[in-house]
């Protein structure tokens, strides 16, 4: 359903060019799966395109974009199948003993691993806060929840990371 207005179509194309990488980053951090991230961005852009000529401007536009991406990510996660393929032992081979030890997990790795243990909603709040640098009010708007809830998600994640990093130093 192409936009009737050629100018609107061109501005949408420019938006995709300018913003799709950033949207991909957010989708990747939330879904943690490249195929899901791509699906989520496609879904989000399809939703935006449909309303493109009627979208608000300024901060409201940004809030709408964030909410669209968040909804698309969470929707993709909800659609995931309940069973997952994992490593098949028959496909594994023995590797030679390597002399170096396992590197200590860097703090950044710990963040990534911790994010994998959060619920999708909590993870979304964390990504919006620390990757998109949104305020709690903006996160609440993007996620359709109360500001206190958004704050709670982020603080819980930070508390966990603090514990993890403290444990790692001991």
Site for another protein in 101-120 (CB under 8 A): 101-102, 105, 107-113, 115-119
Q: What residues between 148 and 167 interact with another protein by CB under 8 A?
A: 149, 152, 155-165
Given candidates 13, 59, 61, 135, which one binds another protein under the rule CB under 8 A?
Answer: 13
CB of 122 to another protein, least distance (A): 7
For residue 92, the Cα-to-chain-centroid distance in whole angstroms is: 31
Given candidates 10, 14, 46, 137, which one binds another protein under the rule CB under 8 A?
Answer: 46
Given candidates 5, 34, 61, 135, which one binds another protein under the rule CB under 8 A?
Answer: 34
The helix or strand, by DSSP H or E, that contains position 139, with its residue range, turns out to be: helix 136-143
CB of 59 to another protein, least distance (A): 17
Identify the DSSP state of 136: H
Is residue 74 within 8 A of residue 120, CB to CB? The reply is yes
C-alpha span between 51 and 108 (Å, rounded): 38
Given candidates 6, 57, 88, 170, which one binds another protein under the rule CB under 8 A?
Answer: 88
The residue count for binding another protein (CB under 8 A) is: 89
Closest CA to 66 of 2, 150, 8: 150
Q: Which two tokens stand for residue 60?
A: 């409201």
Overall size of the chain counted in residues: 170
């Amino acid at each position: 359903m192409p936009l009737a207005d050629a100018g609107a179509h061109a501005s949408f194309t420019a938006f995709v060019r300018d913003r799709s990488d950033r949207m991909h980053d957010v989708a990747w951090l939330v879904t943690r799966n490249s195929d899901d991230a791509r699906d989520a961005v496609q879904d989000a852009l399809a939703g935006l395109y449909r309303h493109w000529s009627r979208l608000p401007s300024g901060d409201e536009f940004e809030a709408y974009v964030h909410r669209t991406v968040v909804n698309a990510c969470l929707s993709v996660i909800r659609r995931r199948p309940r069973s997952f393929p994992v490593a098949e032992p028959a496909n594994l081979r023995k590797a030679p003993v390597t002399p170096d030890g396992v590197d200590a997990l860097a703090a950044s790795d710990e963040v990534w691993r911790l994010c994998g243990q959060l619920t999708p909603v909590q993870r979304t709040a964390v990504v919006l806060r620390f990757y998109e640098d949104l305020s709690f009010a903006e996160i609440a708007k993007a996620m359709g929840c109360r500001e206190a809830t958004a704050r709670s998600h982020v603080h819980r994640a930070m508390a966990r990371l603090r514990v993890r990093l403290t444990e790692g130093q001991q």
